């Protein structure tokens, strides 16, 4: 089943040498997803929170934290498990840590 999730890729604002502009396409979505993965890796490995973090765990956090429409069954053929939501991924991590130490 592909994709696992979708990322912003339509009319994304960015900075260019000549000022601010917008771009649309998979290249934009891939760059946003790569940046989100880099932030999770930095938190996990560099900051020492999950030194064994790997791509599979990043995928799990992305899918678990994805934004989903209510009253819909997932995964969807075109949307996968929902839209990339880095804040949601960190919320899943935070909840996992709380449950691990409290329960």
Give residue-wise pLDDT tens across range 26-45. Answer: 999 999 999 999 999 999 99
Residue 103 has pLDDT above 60, yes or no: no
Confidence band of 11 (pLDDT split at 50, 70, 90) = very high
pTM recorded for the entire structure? 0.85
pLDDT in the model for residue 72: 87
Measure the CA–CA gap between 91 and 22, rounded to whole angstroms.
29
Angle between helices 86-102 and 26-41 (to 10 degrees): 30
Measure the CA–CA gap between 20 and 26, rounded to whole angstroms.
19
What distances in angstroms separate CA 33 from CA 70, 73, 92, 100, 103, one per listed residue?
23, 23, 17, 28, 32
Arithmetic mean of pLDDT, 3-30: 93
Arithmetic mean of pLDDT, 34-63: 95
Residue 1 has pLDDT above 90, yes or no: no
Confidence band of 2 (pLDDT split at 50, 70, 90) = confident
Contact 22, 14 (CB under 8 A): yes
């Amino acid at each position: 089943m592909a994709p696992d999730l979708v990322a912003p890729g339509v009319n994304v604002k960015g900075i260019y040498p000549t000022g601010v502009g917008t771009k649309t396409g998979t290249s934009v979505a891939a760059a946003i997803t790569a940046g989100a993965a880099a932030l999770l890796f930095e938190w996990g490995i560099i900051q020492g929170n999950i030194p064994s973090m790997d791509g599979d765990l990043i995928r799990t956090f992305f899918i678990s934290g994805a934004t989903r429409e209510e009253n819909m069954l997932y995964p969807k053929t075109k949307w996968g498990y929902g839209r990339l939501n880095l804040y949601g991924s960190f919320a899943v991590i935070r909840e996992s840590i709380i449950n691990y130490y409290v329960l």
